[in-house]
Amino acid sequence: MFTGRIHEIGVIESVGSKGIIVRAAKCAGRLVPGGSLNVAGVCVTAERVEQDLVSTSISAETRRRTTFDQLLAPGLRVNLEAPLSVGDPLDGHLVQGHVDAVGKVVRIDNDLGVGKRLWIRPPDRFIRRIAAKGSIAVDGVSLTVAEIVKDRFSVVLIPSTLAGTTLADLSEGDRVNIESDVVSRLAAADPGSASANVARAVAALGWAGHLSGRIGVEKAVQQFAAGGAVMVWDPDREAEGDVIFAGADLRPAAFTFLLTEVYGYPCVPCAPEILERLEIPALAGNGDRQGTAFHTPVDLAAGTGTGVSAAERAATVRHLAHPQSRPADFASPGHVIPLAARPGLLRERAGHTESTVAMCLASGLPPVGVCCEVMKRDGTMAGAADLEAFALRWGLPLVDIDDLRTWL
């Protein structure tokens, strides 16, 4: 989590096919490998820190969603901010470094001789998410929206901002990374309970929202091992996020949460040897477009109901994870849908099935869990910005599959 208060202007030393090296004299001292750094409004993971040089990786998804598709070049000056630490003042506003849109500078005015006024035209989908006098980050800098006129908005750059950031370098036609404030995202996600969402967000800052790198994965594993949920974002294969739980101690309340808040299609990823031992066969066909290995749905044979309630489904999942379970313990077809993970897990397939089983193993738990796609109330799938808002609202860590593949 960041505030949009720039710590220093860094310089890109080199650009490679997988990432960049940036000179960060101040920020480097606050970073460790696996930590996060905000570069020109984009949260990246510090892979190596050597004196004042920070090496980072930049995914294809990040390049597509930001100015990093064209902007990066050796010698370029960039705004840098290290993440918040416990005890840091909460200045500026809450920024995650996950770019909502790329805008274009369409006009620059001198503002009464004191500073400058930038007019920025964002995509149509973004202009509806901001409000005059609200907060916004432009290339990582915390600013106030001065005015909104049709398809554009303006921000005023005072002398200290011009002196301490790269915004003074901007010209008409330049592209900039823009991110709405976290509070605005929460309000947009659920206008009826915006104040409650804000309270949850502030209370959960240390653990909720996007966590990156090795440190982020370690925090997510700790929460998962304690019985909590984790959100996993897959930007490349599905462009969807799933909420996942471990199966060994799954409670009915967790299944109720998936059904009434997450809204997706709950399934039960299992290590393949579990399904072989329990003689649960694969369904006919090649699976969905992502190659998901669906197996025959089952219920707990000892159940007394239909098997569809949250309590009965949770009991079925717990028994699938039990090391002493036997084939005769399950009836089919049923209401719990097992999925077979690939034997090589994330090294073989970067999917939510493999992520769930990998998280179970990293937590020292049986390799059976539950995953459920995050769907919005209007029936459309949650995108990256939606997932960030939901993660804060629900108090969940949000991690990328690429980070899980790297650090698990």
pLDDT tens string 214-225: 888 888 898 898
Q: Is beta strand 240-246 parallel, antiparallel or unpaired with respect to 8-15? A: unpaired
Confidence at residue 208, expressed as pLDDT on a 0 to 100 scale: 72
Q: What is the pTM of this model?
A: 0.60
Q: Which domains does the chain have, with CATH numbers?
A: 8-81 (2.40.30.20), 101-181 (2.40.30.20), 188-407 (3.90.870.10)
- How far is residue 47's CA from residue 60's CA, in Å, rounded to a whole number? 17
Confidence at residue 111, expressed as pLDDT on a 0 to 100 scale: 64
User: Which residues does residue 176 pair with via DSSP β-bridges, in sequence order?
Assistant: 103
Distances (CA, A) of 174 to 31, 49, 118, 141: 30, 30, 11, 16
pLDDT tens string 3-57: 888 999 999 999 988 889 999 999 988 888 888 899 999 999 888 999 899 999 8
Confidence at residue 343, expressed as pLDDT on a 0 to 100 scale: 95
Confidence at residue 150, expressed as pLDDT on a 0 to 100 scale: 86
Q: Is beta strand 338-340 parallel, antiparallel or unpaired with respect to 268-270? A: parallel
Q: Which residues of 320-334 are buried (b: 16+ CB within 10 A; e: fewer)?
A: bbeeebeeebbeeeb
Query: Considering only CA atoms, which of 147, 158, 173 is closest in space to residue 71?
Result: 173
User: DSSP H helical segments within 116-212, as ranges?
Assistant: 124-127, 159-164, 182-189, 194-203
Q: List all residues 6 or more positions away from 310 whose beta carbon is below 8 Å from its beta carbon.
A: 252, 253, 255, 256, 259
- The SS3 call for residue 287 is coil
Please give the share of the chain, as a percent, with pLDDT higher than 70.
90
Q: Which residue has the tokens 């909590």?
A: 228
**Tokens linked to 145:** 């929206």
Confidence at residue 184, expressed as pLDDT on a 0 to 100 scale: 59
Confidence at residue 232, expressed as pLDDT on a 0 to 100 scale: 96
Which H or E element spans position 399?
A: strand 397-400
Tens-binned pLDDT, residue by residue, of the chain (408 aa): 788 889 999 999 999 888 899 999 999 888 888 888 999 999 998 889 998 999 998 888 888 889 998 878 899 999 999 887 655 665 556 777 888 899 999 999 886 566 888 999 999 888 877 877 788 999 999 888 888 988 999 998 888 889 999 999 999 999 999 998 766 555 555 555 544 444 444 444 456 778 888 888 888 898 898 888 999 999 888 889 999 999 999 999 999 999 999 999 999 999 999 999 999 999 988 777 788 999 999 999 998 899 999 999 999 999 999 999 999 999 999 999 999 999 999 999 999 999 999 999 999 999 999 999 999 999 999 988 889 888 888 888 999 999 999 888
Confidence at residue 267, expressed as pLDDT on a 0 to 100 scale: 97
